[in-house]
A and B are shown apart, each in its own frame.
Chain A
Amino acid sequence: MAGSGLQIFAAYPALGPLGGKYRWYPFQDDAPPSWLRFGGWLAGARHWHFAIAWFLILNGVIYFIYMVASGEWRRRVFIPTRDTSNAIAMFAYYLRLRRTPPPEDFYNGLQRMAYTSAILFGLVVVFSGLAIYKPLQLHWITAAFGGYDFARVVHLSCLVLLALFTMMHLVLVALHPRTIVTMVTGGPRG
């Protein structure tokens, strides 16, 4: 999805409307490097992107059903009333502002916050994608994202955030190879 998306983006590697591109975006008209792209050319990348997108959605639906049906969501989802103070304490511990880590069960508050926000980015990447895929037939989605050009910004931002999330985990695996087991299996059963 990321590679074909960047290949599509390369066809108009700019943000903002024609004649009024956003000034804050520093890479106007710079196409992403070719080693990050997939699909060969615009038409090929579009075919891949719109084909695999269905499997991303299917994956999300199965995940959602499983989380709800198994009750797993209770120990995995960030619930602000339960997890906020723990997340702040954990953050303080990481910043060396606190000597001892706060108590943690399956996940700590900060982990829950990170994982839940990744799921939110996943939801937003799908809906902002629909907003730019069908800006007429689904124009209410496009409007909800502040219009076509802004929906492109949101779509690309989600990619950046999800890529950062993935890279942080790759770094973690490089530092602590054993963590890959829990990452892949989802950890011990509750």
Chain B
Amino acid sequence: MARLITRRKLLIGLAASTALAGCDGRSAARAFLAGMERWNERVDRLLFSQNRLAPEPPASEMTPEAAFPSYFVSDSMPIAPAGWALKVGGIVARPAVLSLDQLKRMPQTGMRIRHHCVEGWSAVAEWNGVQLREIARMVGASRDAQYVEFRSFDNGYYSTWDIESSLHPQTILAYGMNGHPLYPDHGAPLRLYSPVKLGYKCVKYLTEVNFLPTRAGGYWEDQGYDWYAGV
């Protein structure tokens, strides 16, 4: 049987294309990686479904709270300013300023979830709070809002999500963890929490939620981490 592509031909072809790409190594590599990131985001969006819920691990898999890492980017632990309230705005019919009490009076969602950090560790905890989709409904988010931006009082830490992941039923604004109110190390008084994104997308110490028509960046995303970061 005649062979169409021998291994030898394939190797020569590969070597030639590598040599070509090497002409302007750095910018070619950057363009290649940027293109592949866009491709990976497309795959990520195809895989994503708002109906696919993260399975709840058994209570025996709960991570001891002391072993659950907590990160912030300020020099010292960010503490909520007096009179803290959450601003919800952007392209919404009824912009709102919500106190913690008002948020707690909204329908509550609780879940035991495995958290995945970009670094490669995972940890299980229970979180409770209010679904972001409830808040989107309450403020009347526009149909044109394709992105949601989350801002914090942690030295400007922020992130932006696609609307589909933001409205996933397990994407919540959490004020409770493991049966107690959220502590400052995990983002008190209010943090974004969801199993559908890596940890760095789950902004702690929230101050603002903005529904946006265009894409914005994020603290780590602006430094080169992948923007979509689906789990």
A158 cross-chain contacts in B, Cβ below 8 A: none
- Measured CB to CB, the nearest residue on chain A to B195 is A136
Q: A14-B121, A18-B68, A70-B3 are in contact. List 10 more A-B contacts (CB 8 A).
A: A9-B120, A17-B61, A47-B226, A136-B54, A136-B196, A137-B44, A137-B52, A184-B7, A184-B8, A185-B7
Among B5, B11, B119, B226, the residue within 8 A (CB) of A12 is B119
A184 cross-chain contacts in B, Cβ below 8 A: 7-8, 11
**Is the CB–CB distance between A50 and B116 below 8 Å?**
no
A46 close to B (CB within 8 Å): yes
**Nearest CB on B from A163, distance (A):** 19
Q: A19-B64, A137-B52 are in contact. Are A51 and B32 (CB under 8 A)?
A: yes
Question: For chain A residues 130-164, which have a beta carbon within 8 Å of chain B?
Answer: 132, 134-139, 148-149, 152
**Is the CB–CB distance between B63 and A18 below 8 Å?**
yes
Per DSSP, are chain B's interface residues mostly helix, strand or loop, or mixed? loop
- Binding stretch for chain A, among B35-43, B77-85, B136-144: B35-43
Among B39, B66, B118, B195, the residue within 8 A (CB) of A42 is B118
**Is the CB–CB distance between A17 and B231 below 8 Å?**
no
Question: C-beta contact mask, A36-47 vs B, less than 8 Å → 1, else 0?
Answer: 000000111011
Question: C-beta contact mask, A57-81 vs B, less than 8 Å → 1, else 0?
Answer: 0000000001000110000000000
Question: C-beta contact mask, A12-30 vs B, less than 8 Å → 1, else 0?
Answer: 1010011100000000000
**Is the CB–CB distance between A11 and B119 below 8 Å?**
yes
Q: A8-B120, A186-B7 are in contact. Are A17 and B63 (CB under 8 A)?
A: yes
**Nearest CB on A from B122, distance (A):** 5
B23 close to A (CB within 8 Å): no
B64 cross-chain contacts in A, Cβ below 8 A: 18-19
A42 cross-chain contacts in B, Cβ below 8 A: 118-119, 225
B114 close to A (CB within 8 Å): yes
Cα distance A134–B36 when bound, in Å? 17
A48 close to B (CB within 8 Å): yes
A93 close to B (CB within 8 Å): no
B22 close to A (CB within 8 Å): no
A135 cross-chain contacts in B, Cβ below 8 A: 114, 116, 122, 231
**Is the CB–CB distance between A43 and B37 below 8 Å?**
no
Which A residues lie at the B interface, using CB under 8 A? Answer: 8-9, 11-12, 14, 17-19, 42-44, 46-48, 50-51, 54, 66, 70-71, 132, 134-139, 148-149, 152, 184-186, 189
Cα distance A152–B122 when bound, in Å? 11
**Is the CB–CB distance between B33 and A136 below 8 Å?**
no
Among A11, A48, A54, the residue within 8 A (CB) of B120 is A11
Question: For chain B residues 119-140, which have a beta carbon within 8 Å of chain A?
Answer: 119-123
**Is the CB–CB distance between A43 and B224 below 8 Å?**
yes
What band does the interface of chain B fall in when counting residues whose beta carbon is under 8 Å from A? 35 or more
**Is the CB–CB distance between A134 and B118 below 8 Å?**
no
Question: For chain B residues 45-104, which have a beta carbon within 8 Å of chain A?
Answer: 47-49, 52, 54-55, 61, 63-64, 66-69
**Is the CB–CB distance between A18 and B36 below 8 Å?**
no
**Nearest CB on B from A115, distance (A):** 14
A18 cross-chain contacts in B, Cβ below 8 A: 63-64, 67-69, 121-123
CB-defined A-B contacts under 8 Å, sample of 27: A12-B121, A18-B64, A18-B123, A19-B63, A42-B119, A47-B33, A47-B224, A47-B226, A50-B36, A50-B226, A51-B33, A51-B37, A66-B5, A70-B1, A134-B44, A136-B52, A136-B230, A136-B231, A137-B47, A137-B230, A137-B231, A148-B116, A149-B122, A184-B7, A186-B6, A186-B7, A189-B3
**Nearest CB on A from B202, distance (A):** 13
Interface centre among A134, A137, A152 (most CB of B within 10 A): A137
Among A46, A54, A136, the residue within 8 A (CB) of B118 is A46
**Nearest CB on B from A106, distance (A):** 15
